[in-house]
Amino acid sequence: EVGPGDPLWSFPKRPPTLRPPRTLALADKVANRREQGTEATCITEMSVMMACWKQNDFNDAPCAEEIRMFYDCVTKAEKQRKSQSEDTPSSRGNLSSSKVNKLLKRFPQMTRYV
pLDDT in tens, the chain (114 residues): 555 666 666 666 777 787 888 777 788 888 887 766 667 889 999 999 999 999 999 898 999 999 999 999 999 988 887 776 554 555 567 788 888 889 888 888 776 655
Q: Do 29 and 104 meet the contact criterion of CB atoms below 8 Å apart? A: yes
Looking at residue 20, what is its pLDDT?
Answer: 80
pLDDT value of position 33: 75
Specify the pTM: 0.46
Residue 29: partners with Cβ closer than 8 Å, 6 or more residues away: 101, 104, 105
pLDDT score at 97: 84
Give me the DSSP letters along 30-84.
----PPPP----SHHHHHHHHHHHHHTTT-SGGGHHHHHHHHHHHHHHHHHHHHS
